[in-house]
Amino acid sequence: MIDPAALQMVLGVLTGWLDRREREAIAYLIEENRLLRRQLGTRRLRLTDDDRRRLAARAYRVGRAALREIATIATPDTLLRWHRRLIARKWTYARQPDRRNVLVEIRRLVVRMAEENPTWGYTRIQGALKNVGHRVGRSTIRRILTAVGLPPVPQRPTSWQAFLNAHWGSIAGADFFTTEVWTWQGLVTYYTVFIIDLASRRVQILGSTPHPEALFMRQIARTLTMEEAGVVSRRQVLICDRDRKWSHDVRRRLRDAGIRVVLIPERAPNANAYAERFVRSIKEECLDRIIPIGERHCRHVITEFVAHYHCERNHQGLDNRLIADTRVTDRMGRVQCRRRLGGLLNFYTRAA
C-alpha cells in the first residue's frame, strides 16, 4: 500500500524539478535569441508566412504577460495580431480576388487577344475584355501591347499559327534534306526535295541530285504543277524557306499554276515545323543508321522509309494512328514482323 503523503511529496519534488528545468531552458533560449539579435544589429529579420503562423500559434498559448518577458523577435502585440489574422483567415469564406492577380490576368488576355486577332484595335479589345468582366481603358491596352512589342492594327502581323489554321487542309510544306553518299568519286552530298501535306502528313519525294541548280529546280516546279502530282495537286498554299534554290523563276512558275508560295521568316525553321519534323524522322530513324553506297542505294533507302512512314509508322500528331491504315483488326492471328532495310525499320501486325 503506497502512502498518499509520500506519493504527494514525490510528485511535488518531480514537478518542481521539471518546472526548474523548463525555466532554465526558457532562460537559455532567451539569452540565445538576444545574442542572435545582437549579431543581426539593425538588420530586419525576414519571416515567411509559415514562420508567422507558427509563432502566432505558440504566442497565443504562452499569453501576453509571459510574452513581454521572453519575446525577442516581435512584440507581444505583433504576435497576437498575427494570431487574430490567422483565425480570421480560417473563418473567412468569401475572399476578394487579389488585385495583382487581376492585373496579371488582364495583361495576359490583352496580349492573347491581340496575337490571335491581328485586326482588332484597342477599342475592339476593350469591348472583348468587357465581355469577360474587365473594364480597361484604351490607353492601358496600348501601354500593355507596346510593352510586349505589338504594334497597332495596321502594322500588326498575322501569326503563323493563325495562318496555318486559316489554310488548314489546303496547305503543304516543301524543304530539302541532305544525304552523304559514297560513290566512285568519293563522298558526295545529295540534295533531296520533298513536299508534305500538313493535314494528312503525307509526303512525296520530288527528286534527288548532287547539283540542285536551276535546271533541276525547273523540273521540280513542273512536277509540282502536274495534274497527277498526287499530294500537291490539290494544294493551294506552299510553304518554303528562303533558300536560293527557290528562285524567283521557280516561284513565278508555281504562282502561274495557281499555287501560292509563302516564304517563312529568316532563321525561323519552326515556321515550317512539319517539314522539319519529317527531316528529323528520316535522319534519326534511317539515314543516320546506314551508309548509302551509290545513288541507286540512296534512292532505295529513301523509298523504303517513305513507304514505312506512310503505312507502318504511328504518328503522334494523328492520335498515334497510321497515315494509310489498311489493316484488318484481328486479335486471334499470330503476330508477325514486317522488316525493311534488313530489319532497320520494323512493323508488327497480326497475320491474316
What is the DSSP track for 8-38? HHHHHHHHHHHHHHHHHHHHHHHHHHHHHHH
Spatial distance between the Cα atoms of 101 and 95, rounded to a whole number of angstroms: 13
How much is the pTM? 0.57
Which helix (H) or strand (E) covers residue 347, if one does?
A: strand 345-350
The CA distance from 50 to 116, in Å, is 41
Element (H, E) at 252: helix 248-256
Q: All 3 cell numbers of residue 27?
A: 532562460
Q: Are strands 335-340 and 345-350 parallel, antiparallel or unpaired?
A: antiparallel
Instruction: Tell me phi and psi for residue 112, to 5 degrees.
Output: -65, -45
List Cβ neighbours of 46 (8 Å cut-off, separation of 6 or more): none
Domain covering 165-342 in this structure, CATH number: 3.30.420.10
Contact 13, 6 (CB under 8 A): no
Task: Look up residue 294 and give its DSSP letter.
Answer: S
The answer to whether residues 59 and 76 touch, using CB atoms and an 8 Å cutoff, is yes
**CA–CA dist 116, 113 (Å, integer):** 5
List per-residue pLDDT tens for the chain, 352 residues long. Answer: 556 665 566 556 656 655 666 666 666 666 667 666 666 666 666 767 777 777 777 666 666 666 666 666 667 677 677 777 777 776 655 455 555 667 888 888 988 888 878 788 888 888 888 888 888 888 888 888 888 888 887 767 666 666 666 667 788 899 999 999 999 888 999 999 999 988 888 999 999 999 999 999 999 988 888 755 555 555 578 889 998 899 999 999 888 888 888 898 888 888 888 899 999 999 999 999 999 999 999 999 999 999 999 998 898 888 888 888 766 566 677 888 889 998 899 988 887 6
| Three-point CA angle 215, 221, 223, nearest 5° | 105
**273-285 and 295-311 helices cross at what angle (nearest 10)?**
110
Proportion of the chain in helix, strand, coil states, percent, rounded to 5: 55, 15, 30
Type of residue at 188: V
Helix (DSSP H) and strand (DSSP E) numbers for the chain: 12, 7
Question: Which pairing describes strands 186-197 and 171-183: parallel, antiparallel, or unpaired?
Answer: antiparallel
